[in-house]
Amino acid sequence: MAHPVDGLLIPTGSAVHRLPAQTKIVAVVLVVATVVLTPARSWGVLAAQGALVVAVVAASRLPAAAVLRRLGVEAPFVVFALLMPFVAAGPTTRLGPVTVSQAGLLGGATLLVKATVGVLAAVVLAATTGARELLAGLERLHLPAVLVAILSFMLRYVVVIAEELGRARVAREARGGRRAGLAAVAGGVGARFVRTYERGERVQQAMLARGYAGRMPVLAGGAATAAQWASALSLPAAALLVLLVGRLLVGVGG
């Protein structure tokens, strides 16, 4: 079944795409946690971990341009990270014409690297996992059934509602030009909520009519085999190994 939010999925049929969603979710969370755990100044370790995630992008055969474009989500924190050298405490250093906090400079740079690796890992997850698989994976990971059901309705209707809001905007601009007041825009959004609510009631009626008894059908995500778990978890394991080896080398080097 084609799914609207599957617009995020970039199907290339790679081995990463074929892994069950639950193994990918766990692997991504663990690899990001390992990156966050890596202490500042361990640039070598962070670079190696970044390279591992990039290797997964390559293994997924995702187009680089699309991946780079999706990294744009990060833009707001880039600003924050760039501000950090100017607001953090501690001893200062001169950087060209300005005086900045050393801790802030280090922290800002570390934050930028870690957040980028985190976003990249999440982009890989979204680009290799369809919405339905993702829900099945979350169900397999024992997310409460009510929450899975709510998420599935959300994903099913988010594109519908966004398109309706888009059509309302086009209609408004066609009648009144581009300069609409707050009341006009909000009136459309408020009306959309009323319609959404009524649609929710109709969906519930339709479900009851078809025998819904308070339990959604199981999404039938298959159990993952030990081999699948092993191949998914090899990514966080490698990231952790890099971290441990890096720490050991620092220890030996003094």
Partner 1 sequence: MHVPDGFLDVPTSVATGVAAVAMVGTALRRAEREITETGPALPGLTAAFVFAAQMVNFPVGAGTSGHLLGGALAAALVGPWTATVVITSVLLVQALLFADGGLTALGTNVITMAVVGVVVGYLVARLALRFLPPRARSLVPATALGGLVSVPAAALAFTGLYAIGGTVDIPIGRLATAMVGWHAVIGVGEALITAAVLGAVVATRPDLVHLGRHLQPAGSPAGGPTRVRLGRRGLAIGGAVTLAVASAVSLAASTHPDGLEYIATSLGFAGAASGSPADRSPLANYVVHGLANPWVSGAAAGMVGAVVPVVVGLLLTFLAQRRRGRAARAAE
d(CA 186, CA 192): 9
Contact between 237 and partner 1 (CB under 8 A)?
no
Query: Of 129, 192, 188, which Cα lies nearest the Cα of 157?
Result: 192
Q: Which of 59, 141, 187, 234 binds partner 1 (CB under 8 A)?
A: 187
CA distances from 224 to 1, 70, 78, 194 (A): 21, 29, 37, 42
Q: Are 22 and 219 in contact (CB under 8 A)?
A: no
Q: Which is nearer to partner 1, 145 or 225 (CB)?
A: 145
Contact yes or no for 63/10 (Cβ under 8 A) = yes
Residue 236 beta carbon to partner 1: minimum distance, rounded to whole angstroms: 12
Which is it for the CA torsion 67, 68, 74, 76, positive or negative? negative
Identity of the residue, 44 or 190, whose beta carbon is nearer to partner 1 in the bound complex: 190
Please report whether residue 128 would count as binding partner 1 according to CB under 8 A. Answer: no
Under the binding rule (CB under 8 A), the answer on residue 194 touching partner 1 is: yes
Amino acid at 106: L
For the bound state, the minimum distance from the C-beta of residue 90 to partner 1, rounded and expressed in Å, comes to 5
Residue nearer to partner 1 on the CB measure, 24 or 228: 24
CB of 153 to partner 1, least distance (A): 2
What's the DSSP call for residue 97?
T
Nearer CB in complex with partner 1: 69/249: 69
Among 54, 59, 141, 203, binds partner 1 (CB under 8 A): 203
Size of the site for partner 1 (CB under 8 A): 94
Report the residue number, 171 or 225, with the smaller CB distance to partner 1: 171
22 Cβ contact partners less than 8 Å away, ≥ 6 residues apart: 136, 137, 138, 140, 141, 221, 224
Token reading at 183: 């009341």
Binds partner 1 (CB under 8 A): choice among 147, 230, 244, 249: 147
- Choosing from 58, 68, 95, 201, the residue that interacts with partner 1 (CB under 8 A) is 201
Using CB under 8 A as the binding rule, the residues of this chain from 83 to 102 that contact partner 1 are: 84, 86-92, 99-101
Indicate the residue type of 17: H
Q: Which amino acid does the sequence have at 156? A: R
* DSSP code of residue 71: G
Contact set for partner 1, span 13-72 (CB under 8 A): 25, 28-29, 32-33, 35-37, 40, 70-71
